[in-house]
Chains A and B, each alone.
Chain A
Amino acid sequence: MVAALSIRDLRKSYANQFEALKGISLDVNQGDFFALLGPNGAGKSTTIGIISSLVRKTSGTINIFDVDIDQHFSAAKKFLGVVPQEFNFNLFEKVEDILIQQAGYYGLPAKVARPRVEYYLGKLDLLDKRQTPARMLSGGMKRRLMIARALVHQPKLLILDEPTAGVDIELRRGMWEFLREINDAGTTIILTTHYLEEAENLCRQIAIIDRGEIIQNTSVKQLLQQLNKETFIFDSAYFSRLPDLPGFTCRLIDDHSIEVDVIKGQSLNQVFQLLNEQQITITSMRNKSNRLEELFVSLVQANKQGMHHAV
């Protein structure tokens, strides 16, 4: 199967000798929902900038659906839709005009663009704002406008650079649902995000980039298997003292909650059994932090120390 995106030995050095990308290679399969994660300044936006031709690469090759972006610039770009991190539309234009113009830049006449504009504005809950100048929209609406704009030419590969930054939780979930829907319909999606819960929820494949290098590139499932330790919080009506949990490291947070580290090979059943034996009733339980987040932090820290092995 032809890869939706194939990057080989991509390098980017700036005039001040800063090496933003140190020869990354990456394949994203057709139909995938792919997360590109990394700390600030890791090289995510530079990679997206090069794919979308807003940043010039120093060397390397990029193919979108087997079309080289250097040799067949126009054909490759038709496959691609990009939602950038920063708002980058004309604030004085009306929502509908922004979308029809975007379609025009891809060679689509207004009569073809109009029904699509209506469809995507409806899907993204912006139909009643079609005649509103972009500057009058809220932050969440502006984000959705950028998604609609990236989709109006119906790309096969959609890249979203932190699409839900600053979007409230309800809207974020609505956007997730919409992104799942277009992914199910066949659009390959690459997502960068700082909300690792988002990546865990949406994406099947994941690459972690740090200091211009790919330090992990695998499925979310396999990546999570690398997690050696998870910390859970157990709530109860009252903890008079720290329960005795042999083999587990646990800490009393307050009168109602304890946190317990569960390492690979141990099970939650054991924790519950030990708590039961001490007549402690658990009212709720949750992960202390997102699993992917724990793993991400560990991997980036390990890379910082020059250790590329898993946690």
Chain B
Amino acid sequence: MPFNEQWIAFNTILFKEIRRFTRIWIQTLLPPAITMALYFVIFGHLIGRQIGSMSGFSYSEFVAPGLIMMAVITNAYANVSSSFFSAKFQRSVDEILVSPTPNYIIVLGYVMGGVARGLTVGLIVTLLALTFTKLSVSHGFITFSVIFLTATLFSLAGFINSVYAKSFDDISIIPTFVLTPLTYLGGVFYSINLLPDFWQGVSLLNPILHMVNAFRYGILGVTDTSLTLAFASLLIGVAILFWLSLVVVEKAKGLRS
């Protein structure tokens, strides 16, 4: 398939995904806005006033980048896992599988659809955050590249999950039992400097901690972890999950018998 045709196929999948999550905005865009508004009211405003400053910033300012990142991670993951599983469940995925569209375009199309939803929700949460606290971007390139790579990484993870899922329950297991604990323990609400040494060491094994801190560095200019490690883990993670996605599209029994 020539490059221009691949580009059309990629855009077809991407815009189909964007149309899907905007058409059902009550299920996709509104809930994270309400949840994050509640976090800002309760943690940022009410409890935050009692906490005082953290890493030299008001608690509202400190918590805002983490909450944006949390929304991006969960929505990027959820978009691809639910959309691709639904296509698999209805067998509408066959429309693409019988076409000349190469596998890597299928993966990229769905993943960029997830990134689009992650970034849209991230923007909504940022606008909400601005009504509670002041935020400015200290390092624009780092801010954007971290959030883009994180959304890509979790979209890829959601894609792999959906290929292997056999029921709708299977696509909620990873978000419930893996993503939520890792995100809550990933430095969204606190600096790991508050933890004893042992737990600081354990926390450093959590990849989400590095992503949240790198993003916080982009916004506030402070971080608890190494930026190099954050970028390295993001780039390596994206490369590995992209390769795995290509393998599962080609080999998985859920798609081709």
Contacts and interface: CB of A to CB of B under 8 A. Distances in A.
Interface of A: 14, 49, 52-56, 73-75, 77-78, 80, 82, 84, 86, 88-92, 97-98, 101-102, 104-109, 149, 153
B91 A86 contact: yes
A89 B90 CA distance: 7
Contacts of B1: 74, 107
Interface string B73-117: 000000000000011001110111111111000000000000000
Contacts of A56: 256-257
A74 B2 CA distance: 9
Interface string B1-29: 11011101101110010010001000000
A88 B90 contact: yes
A104 B16 CA distance: 10
B8 A101 contact: no
A55 B91 CA distance: 13
A90 B24 CA distance: 14
Given A90-B92, A107-B4, A107-B8, 6 more contacts: A78-B100, A90-B90, A104-B11, A107-B100, A108-B5, A108-B8
Contacts of A89: 90, 92, 95
A130 B168 CA distance: 30
Interface of B: 1-2, 4-6, 8-9, 11-13, 16, 19, 23, 86-87, 90-92, 94-102, 256-257
Given A53-B97, A88-B90, A88-B92, A107 B9 contact: yes
A73 B256 CA distance: 15
B92 A82 contact: no
Contacts of B87: 90
A107 B95 contact: no
A77 B103 CA distance: 14
B256 A107 contact: no
8 contacts: A56-B257, A73-B100, A78-B100, A89-B90, A90-B87, A98-B95, A104-B12, A109-B8
A101 B106 CA distance: 13
Nearest to B102: A74
Given A82-B98, A88-B90, A53 B256 contact: yes
Nearest to B251: A56
Contacts of B256: 53-56
A109 B99 CA distance: 15
Contacts of B92: 88-90
A61 B23 CA distance: 44
A56 B101 CA distance: 17
A77 B101 CA distance: 9
Contacts of B9: 104-107
Contact of A88 (B4, B8, B11, B94): B94
A106 B99 CA distance: 6
Given A101-B12, A107-B6, A109-B8, A84 B99 contact: no
B142 to A, nearest CB: 35
A104 B4 CA distance: 11
- Of the candidates B2, B100, B101, the one having the most CB atoms from chain A within 10 angstroms of its own CB is B100
A105 B257 contact: no
A230 to B, nearest CB: 41
Nearest to B99: A105
Contacts of A77: 98-100
A91 B90 CA distance: 8
Contacts of A102: 95, 99
B257 A54 contact: yes
A268 to B, nearest CB: 48
